[in-house]
Chains A and B, each alone.
Chain A
Amino acid sequence: MSRKVKTKVGFPGNIKEIEVTVDDNDPDPWGADAKLSVVGTSVPRVDGPVKATGRAKYTYDIAPKGLLFGKILRSPHGAAEIKSIDVTAAGKFPGVKAAIAIKKKGDEVLFHGDEVAAVAAESEEIAEEALRQIKVEYVPRKCVTTIEASMKEGAPRAIEKQSNVQKAQSQGSDPDGAIAKADHKVEATYSTEVQTHSCLETHGTVAHFDGDTLTAWVSTQAVDGCKGAVARQAGGRQSRVVAEHVGGGFGAKFSIGPEGNTALRLATEADRPVKLMLDRKEEHLNGGNRPSSLQKYSGGVMKDGQISGVKVELFGSAGVALGGAGAAQPGFYTYGAFKKTESTVLTNGGGARAFRAPGHPQGYFGMESFLDELAAAIDMDPLAFRKLNCKSPTHLAEMDLAAEKFHWSGRRKAKSGSDAGPRKRGAGMACSTWYNSGGGNWQVDIFIDNKGAVEVRNGTQDIGTGTRTVMTLIVAEELGIPPSQVTVRLGDSNFASGPGSGGSTTAPSIGPAARSAAYRAKKELLSRVAESLKAKPEDLDIRDGKVTKKGQPTSTTFNDLCSKIGVTPLQVSGQRQKNYEGFRGPLAGVQMAEVDVDVETGQVKVLKVVAVQDAGRVVDRLTFESQISGGVIQGVSYALFEDRRLDPNLGVMVNPDFLNYKIAGPKDCPEITAIAFDVASGFNNVGMMGLGEPPTIPTAAAIANAVTNAIGARVRSLPITPDKVLAALEGKKP
Chain B
Amino acid sequence: MPKKPSRPKRSSGPEVSRRGFLSGLGAAAGAVAVGVPAFAGRQDSKVLGPGPVSVSLHINGVVKKTEIEPRVTLLNALRNHLDLTGTKKICDRGSCGGCTVLLDGAPVNSCLMLALDAEGRKIETIEGLAPEGGLHPLQEAFCTHDALQCGFCTPGMVMACKELLDRVPDPGLEEIKDGISGNICRCGTYNRIFDAVKAAAPKMRR
Contact = CB atoms under 8 A, between A and B. Distances in A.
A47 B151 contact: yes
B166 interface: no
A59 to B, nearest CB: 11
B150 A247 contact: yes
Given A47-B151, A632-B188, A658-B95, A622 B90 contact: no
A622 B69 CA distance: 46
A125 interface: yes
Contacts of A465: 149
B146 A658 contact: no
Given A658-B96, A666-B180, A626 B89 contact: no
Contacts of A63: 80, 83, 85
B151 A630 contact: no
A51 B144 contact: no
B66 interface: no
A90 B76 CA distance: 23
B184 A57 contact: no
B109 to A, nearest CB: 12
Contact of B149 (A49, A630, A669): A630
B206 interface: no
Contacts of B142: 48, 52
Interface string A659-676: 100011111010110000
Interface string B63-91: 00000010110001001100101111111
Given A63-B83, A623-B146, A629-B191, A667 B93 contact: no
Q: Is the interface of B mostly helix, strand, loop or mixed?
A: loop
Interface string A58-71: 10110100000100
A280 B88 CA distance: 13
Contacts of B17: none
B148 A630 contact: no
B190 A53 contact: no
Contact of B125 (A49, A54, A202, A247): A54
Given A49-B135, A52-B135, A200-B150, A629 B192 contact: yes
A198 interface: yes
A630 B189 contact: yes
Interface in A606-665: 622-623, 625-627, 629-634, 637, 657-659, 663-665
A54 B83 CA distance: 12
A81 to B, nearest CB: 31
A568 B129 CA distance: 39
B200 to A, nearest CB: 11
A51 B151 contact: yes
Contact of A280 (B90, B129, B139): B90
Contacts, number: 173
A464 B150 contact: yes
B178 interface: yes
B152 A201 contact: yes
Contact of B95 (A54, A657, A666): A657
Interface in A38-60: 44-45, 47-49, 51-58, 60
A60 B187 contact: no
A246 B176 CA distance: 27
A105 B125 CA distance: 47
B181 A665 contact: yes
A201 B150 contact: yes
Contact of B139 (A52, A198, A464): A52
A124 interface: yes
Interface in B31-75: 69, 71-72
Given A464-B151, A630-B189, A200 B158 contact: no
Contact of A667 (B71, B88, B129, B178): B178
Interface in B154-206: 154-155, 158, 176-178, 180-181, 183-194
Contact of B146 (A124, A280, A622, A633): A622
A280 B149 contact: no
B108 interface: no
Q: Which residue, of A55, A627, A666, A669, has the highest number of chain B Cβ atoms within 10 A?
A: A666
A663 B143 contact: no
B107 interface: no
A267 to B, nearest CB: 17
Contact of B76 (A57, A124, A250): A124
A280 B143 contact: no
Chain B interface: which size bin?
35 or more
A626 B146 contact: yes
A51 B139 CA distance: 9
A54 B86 contact: yes
Interface in A238-252: 245-248, 250
B29 interface: no
A658 B85 contact: no
A45 B146 contact: yes
B153 interface: yes
Interface string B103-146: 00000000000000000000001110110100100011011101
B86 A48 contact: no
Nearest to A128: B71
B26 interface: no
Contacts of B88: 60, 200-201, 247
Nearest to A197: B186
A257 B152 CA distance: 21
Contact of B148 (A52, A123, A671, A672): A52
Given A44-B143, A248-B186, A630-B149, A54 B135 contact: no
A625 B142 CA distance: 15
Contacts of B72: 123, 125
A145 B183 CA distance: 31
Contact of B188 (A463, A623, A633, A667): A633
A473 interface: no
A631 B189 CA distance: 10
Contacts of A279: 92
Contacts of B194: 666, 669
Nearest to A46: B143
A69 B76 CA distance: 12
Contacts of B177: 666-667, 669
Contacts of B189: 626, 629-630
A199 interface: yes
Nearest to B159: A54
A201 B83 CA distance: 18
A665 B194 CA distance: 12
A248 B152 contact: yes
A48 B143 CA distance: 5
B149 A626 contact: yes
B127 A53 contact: yes
Contact of B193 (A464, A627, A666): A666
B188 A248 contact: no
B1 to A, nearest CB: 12
Contact of A659 (B95, B130, B146): B95
B67 to A, nearest CB: 11
Interface in A264-305: 279-280
Contacts of B76: 124-125
A9 to B, nearest CB: 28
A58 B146 contact: no
Nearest to B86: A54
A466 B148 CA distance: 10
A631 to B, nearest CB: 7
Contacts of B154: 51-52, 54
B86 A53 contact: yes
B134 to A, nearest CB: 8
Contacts of A671: 191
20 contacts: A45-B146, A52-B135, A52-B140, A52-B148, A52-B151, A52-B158, A54-B85, A55-B127, A60-B88, A63-B83, A125-B72, A200-B185, A280-B93, A464-B151, A622-B146, A626-B189, A658-B95, A666-B176, A666-B177, A669-B191
The 5 A-B residue pairs whose C-beta atoms are closest, nearest first, are: A54-B86, A464-B150, A633-B188, A51-B151, A247-B152
Given A52-B135, A622-B146, 12 more contacts: A45-B143, A48-B142, A200-B90, A202-B90, A245-B151, A466-B149, A626-B189, A626-B192, A657-B93, A657-B95, A669-B188, A669-B194
